[in-house]
Structure 1
Amino acid sequence: MNEWGLPIEKCVKYLRDGASNGVKACELLNVDSMSCLAHYLHLIVGCEMVKKKSDKTSKAMMAAAKSDEDIDAALEQIACEEIEAFIEESCAATWADLDKLRRVVEIFRKLAVYFSRPVLVPQTDCATRWNCTHAMLLRMLELRTALDDFFGHVARTREFSDAKFEQPTAELWLVIRCLVVGEKYPTLVMAVPVLRTIERKIKDEEMFEAITRSVGNEAFVPRVKTLMQSVRRTYVTLFTERFKEKLPMELLWISAPDPRSAELKHLNHEEAKTAIAHLKAAVFEMGKDIRATQSTSEEDTRVAKDSSRPPSAAKKNVAWLTEVFSGGTERYVEEAPTVADDKLKDECDSQVRQYLGDAHGTRVTTDALQWWSTRRGK
């Protein structure tokens, strides 16, 4: 953080991936942290789109073992394989469908890599990043007409006959179209509204109907629908387990300052009550900071005016005694709410109510920053 010029004292919350070293670093820095939602989504979508790594088997590791450490690693691999075998036996159909989908993605990946040789290249992906796989597939869909023309040329002329790639069938194109149809990506402020939308989307059993109808009564349509419904159910399971009761409380209310979501329709009744309460508390804390800053400025002005007057002997003596008996520190006393605090809280609550009323019915196409700029000073 020092190298990048990021002052740690101004860091409110650090977004990290799920790696243990990131968690440990935040603990050492005493920085509040939360796991990045993007990484949560990457872990879910990666099950279908990211290329699988070819891991060594326990037999290969045991055969190559040259030390006790190598044997321990091989035994650990055996235990992992036993667990994996149990999971695969329990979810045999699901794993088969996921592998089938990965093979489809791999066909398009090989095409993208093959055509990356000329100067004008399609977008290729990185095996560890699902989002660039998604971008690659979208680009391949855009190039479908050109690819069909290319394969037609190959069939007529037998040119490029030595190339090791497979022509995607209409069935494979349909699989890819279904795979990318539900893509949405939330920013942190809009995390809960977008995640709730994604949840409704993937739980919709008819989410592929419009796409499958677009190809007519082809014989492969039932196969594709069966495959994608299996994948959809897997997404639902992974999504539910990943996000069930794991979102920080701040995410419930930080979307409220966006006038488009100020009505909190994406939350249930209890969540909305909690969100409004936290929003009012945050506004009150911000109001106290503003008031303290103003008071400090006024005090600095007064001290500057009084600095020309030398302190009396009595004041010097009191200051010295205070230093002696307090050890240089003041006793901590929890501040009781003052009349000024109560007045400020009422004013903040009134401002929140006025904002929620003004934001009612805001169009979804509204620019939130522009909306706020026109209401500055209200």
Structure 2
Amino acid sequence: MSLIWKYFTLDSAESSTANCNVCKAKVSRGGRSISNYNTTNLIKHLQKHHAKEHTEFAQVKRKKDDPSKQMTLTDAFQSQKQMAQQSAKAVKITEKLLEFIVLDDQPLSIVENIGFRRLMEHLEPRYSLPSRKYISETALPELYSKVSSQIADKLKDVQSLSFTTDIWSSDVCPMSLLSLTAHWMDASYALQSAVLNVKELRGSHTSSVISASIKEMLDGWKIPISKVHVILRDNASNMKKAMDDLGVPSLGCVAHSLQLVVNEGLLSQRSVSDVIASARKIVGHFKHSPLAYSRLQDLQREFQMPLKRLQQDVKTRWNSTYYMIQSILEQKRTLCAFAADHELPASMTANHWALLEKTMIVLSPFEELTRAISSSSSSTADVIPTISVLKRLLSQERDTDAGIKTMKSTLLQAVNTRFGNIEDEPLYTLATLLDPRYKDRCFTNEEAAMHAKNALIQEVEKIENALKTTATTALATAADPAEMVSHAEASGSSGHTSKSTFMMMFDEVLNKEQEESEGGIIQTSALVQVQTYMTEKLIPRSENPFQYWAVNNSRFPALAATASAFLSAPCTSVESERLFSTASNILDEKRNRLLAERAEMLIFLKKKPDNVYQVNPATGFCHW
């Protein structure tokens, strides 16, 4: 583009005159058509009427036309030369290409697609797109190794780790995957998690096969069994036995237990299951009939209602049944109008609608509880409080309970059956005590609360002794032997204490007197920490319990270290289930022959912790 246009503007691209920006005069562009227009008249106008601007224009033009500034023939050929595969720019482009494949669930074969190859050739003609074999056998393993090393560095100094695990079987290929996700608190008491493995589980899913696979995963990451705080699993007998065989503490998924509670306590009732089956048929009818759905949309517009689809449920997820009932009730008016003119696969009477409304009322607390415990910040500390609240809600009698008392009592009985022993489980009770939002206020059994406090004191004492041992070892390692000898000689003895037996006994008596409180109870540091913490006011439920320990770490060092172990454990295996949603996107119909090893790398990299790569604030793009 000519430099002259700094001084002139056009009314339009086809305009035969240009407007001078200095004097606003219209100057002819010469010629009779667009193809003949030129800038000669514009330059002469500047020269004749605006000497200053013309001088400036001439100087800039001379610099631009300077032969020393022009590209040499060698440079011109170099600009068209293909990049070396190991050049810095080529390596960076390949890295970004791999990010694109991993983060956007793209197939490895995309590098062979004609459209993608043309796009890359247009963006950077000098870059040679790597082959699918290079991506899968070299680039992907290298990136996997790089990210896994970063995660291994993060886990190296963590003293206690919690895990979630689950098994997933693909619908598009004969492959089953066993996942292992780690959860822990970092030095700043922030909750962290990372997928460690998604290994293929071959053969029968027996407890011995599962336990051997998990042991292999832990050994691969150099995580000793002693560091395993708890493993969250589903309630299947093979998973439970596998953890027992492995010798690690384990807990069943609370969300799975709630699924069993609702199935046993409510959905198994004949009247409820029949009306839900009718609702399921109606939803299925609109899902499979475009004509019926378009007619329903017309009714929604006629009644000035939002255009919404009916939700189909999944029998293995009770909350999906809740959402199906909710969507049916929202469309009650339109469905009744539809049934007046068109046939439905099931009829809904007034009693059916009333029963659906009552069922939804009863299930509402369960739905809210499920959402709460399925959040990424929930922990085992939430189990006892939420179940206590749920029991209280189900046992209370209200004026609005007409017609649903039997439902509530049946559900309460199922809750008591499934969760009757949670206050006897130390992993739940200690976590609850260590959550500053709950402490001992949510226990329904005073004896269980007392046992939990005593167990907490013992745990804190263990941590305290471990911290003292670590500090003593560090001090002994850091001490100068020569300096120790000089101190001993100065005290008049070679390495022995200068205190007499009498003085040592005096110190022992004083220390004992200091340790004993008014009831004869030994006031250990652990006991003081626990008692002080328990007597302080609860923090609001809306506040972050992890942040509390970050702030109070210096006040309660051993107690905070104990909290970092117990509060890092989630109460559900939802993280593993979310992981397998990613797996189903990677192992789909187009990639049903993907090797298990490649699938693990792709899932691992897709679900890596956020802080493994950074986001450039200027561009919004991620880099590893």
TM-score, L = length of structure 2: 0.39
Compared CA separation, residues 127 and 268, structure 1 to 2 (3 A): closer
SS where residue 390 of structure 2 aligns? helix
Compared CA separation, residues 261 and 193, structure 1 to 2 (3 A): same
Greater shift in the superposed pair: 178-187 or 127-136:
178-187
Question: 1:236-251 counterparts in 2 under 5 A?
Answer: 236-245=412-421, 247-251=424-428
Q: In the alignment, which of 527, 543, 562 is matched to residue 349 of structure 1?
A: 527
Aligned position for 1:102? 273
Summarize deviations over 1:320-354 as a string: whole Å, max 9, x none: xxxxxxxxxxxxxxxxxxx89x9897222222222
Q: What is the distance in 2 between the residues matched to 1:19 and 1:174? A: 33
Residues 49 and 130, structure 1, Cα contact 8 Å, conserved in 2: no
Q: What is the distance in 2 between the residues matched to 1:365 and 1:270? A: 29
1:249 is displaced (CA, Å) by 3.2
Aligned position for 1:11? 228
1:375 is displaced (CA, Å) by 3.1
Gaps of 5+ in 1: 53-97, 213-224, 307-338
Compared CA separation, residues 267 and 253, structure 1 to 2 (3 A): farther
1:99 is displaced (CA, Å) by 0.6
Question: 1:301-320 counterparts in 2 under 5 A?
Answer: 301-302=478-479
Q: In the alignment, which of 369, 375, 395 is matched to residue 203 of structure 1?
A: 395
Compared CA separation, residues 297 and 129, structure 1 to 2 (3 A): same
Q: In the alignment, which of 292, 311, 322 is matched to residue 134 of structure 1?
A: 322
Q: In the alignment, which of 253, 257, 261 is matched to residue 430 of structure 2?
A: 253
Amino acid aligned to 2:392: R
Q: In the alignment, which of 341, 345, 356 is matched to residue 164 of structure 1?
A: 345
1:168 is displaced (CA, Å) by 6.2
1:255 is displaced (CA, Å) by 0.7
Amino acid aligned to 2:347: E
Aligned position for 1:192? 384
Amino acid aligned to 2:314: C
Aligned position for 2:357? 174
Compared CA separation, residues 168 and 245, structure 1 to 2 (3 A): same
Q: What is the distance in 2 between the residues matched to 1:49 and 1:236? A: 10
Q: What is the distance in 2 between the residues matched to 1:171 and 1:43? A: 24
Greater shift in the superposed pair: 281-290 or 26-35:
26-35
SS where residue 3 of structure 1 aligns? strand
Q: In the alignment, which of 142, 149, 152 is matched to residue 334 of structure 2?
A: 149
SS where residue 279 of structure 1 aligns? helix
Amino acid aligned to 1:102: S
Compared CA separation, residues 136 and 48, structure 1 to 2 (3 A): farther
1:25 aligns with 2:242: yes
Compared CA separation, residues 245 and 49, structure 1 to 2 (3 A): closer
Q: What is the distance in 1 between the residues matched to 2:414 and 2:284? A: 30
Q: What is the distance in 2 between the residues matched to 1:179 and 1:264? A: 26
1:100 is displaced (CA, Å) by 0.4
Residues 233 and 252, structure 2, Cα contact 8 Å, conserved in 1: yes
Q: What is the distance in 1 between the residues matched to 2:236 and 2:338? A: 49
Residues 260 and 362, structure 1, Cα contact 8 Å, conserved in 2: yes
SS where residue 189 of structure 1 aligns? helix
Amino acid aligned to 1:30: G
1:166 is displaced (CA, Å) by 3.1
Aligned position for 1:235? 411
Summarize deviations over 1:135-186 as a string: whole Å, max 9, x none: 3334444xx1x4413532553xx3xx25424346442442233332332245
Amino acid aligned to 1:231: M
Question: 1:209-358 counterparts in 2 under 5 A?
Answer: 209-210=399-400, 225-226=402-403, 228-245=404-421, 247-302=424-479, 346-358=524-536
SS where residue 315 of structure 2 aligns? coil
Question: 1:12-91 counterparts in 2 under 5 A?
Answer: 12-47=229-264
Taking only aligned residues, the RMSD between alpha carbons, in angstroms, comes to 3.4
SS where residue 12 of structure 1 aligns? strand
1:299 is displaced (CA, Å) by 4.1
Q: What is the distance in 1 between the residues matched to 2:554 and 2:244? A: 40
1:375 aligns with 2:552: yes
Residues 382 and 432, structure 2, Cα contact 8 Å, conserved in 1: yes
Residues 272 and 355, structure 2, Cα contact 8 Å, conserved in 1: no
Residues 265 and 414, structure 2, Cα contact 8 Å, conserved in 1: no
Q: What is the distance in 1 between the residues matched to 2:544 and 2:446? A: 27
Q: What is the distance in 2 between the residues matched to 1:42 and 1:138? A: 18
Greater shift in the superposed pair: 281-290 or 110-119:
110-119
Compared CA separation, residues 245 and 374, structure 1 to 2 (3 A): closer
Compared CA separation, residues 153 and 122, structure 1 to 2 (3 A): closer
Residues 284 and 345, structure 1, Cα contact 8 Å, conserved in 2: no
Compared CA separation, residues 288 and 139, structure 1 to 2 (3 A): farther
Compared CA separation, residues 190 and 242, structure 1 to 2 (3 A): same
Summarize deviations over 1:75-97 as a string: whole Å, max 9, x none: xxxxxxxxxxxxxxxxxxxxxxx
TM-score, L = length of structure 1: 0.61
Gaps of 5+ in 2: 1-179, 181-195, 199-216, 294-307, 374-378, 483-510, 516-521, 556-624
Compared CA separation, residues 27 and 260, structure 1 to 2 (3 A): closer
Amino acid aligned to 2:364: V
1:101 is displaced (CA, Å) by 0.7
Aligned position for 1:64? none
Q: What is the distance in 2 between the residues matched to 1:270 and 1:256? A: 14
Compared CA separation, residues 250 and 32, structure 1 to 2 (3 A): closer
Summarize deviations over 1:92-146 as a string: whole Å, max 9, x none: xxxxxx11011122232233333435697443221122232223334444xx1x4
Residues 192 and 252, structure 1, Cα contact 8 Å, conserved in 2: yes
Residues 48 and 102, structure 1, Cα contact 8 Å, conserved in 2: no
Q: What is the distance in 1 between the residues matched to 2:445 and 2:245? A: 37
Amino acid aligned to 1:100: S
Q: What is the distance in 2 between the residues matched to 1:232 and 1:197? A: 14
Residues 107 and 165, structure 1, Cα contact 8 Å, conserved in 2: yes
Q: What is the distance in 2 between the residues matched to 1:231 and 1:250? A: 31
Residues 182 and 198, structure 1, Cα contact 8 Å, conserved in 2: yes
RCO greater where, 1 or 2, for CA within 8 Å and sep 6 or more? Answer: 2
Q: What is the distance in 2 between the residues matched to 1:365 and 1:25? A: 37
Relative to total residues, which structure has the larger strand share, 1 or 2?
A: 2
Residues 112 and 123, structure 1, Cα contact 8 Å, conserved in 2: yes
Q: In the alignment, which of 533, 537, 542 is matched to residue 365 of structure 1?
A: 542
SS where residue 260 of structure 1 aligns? coil
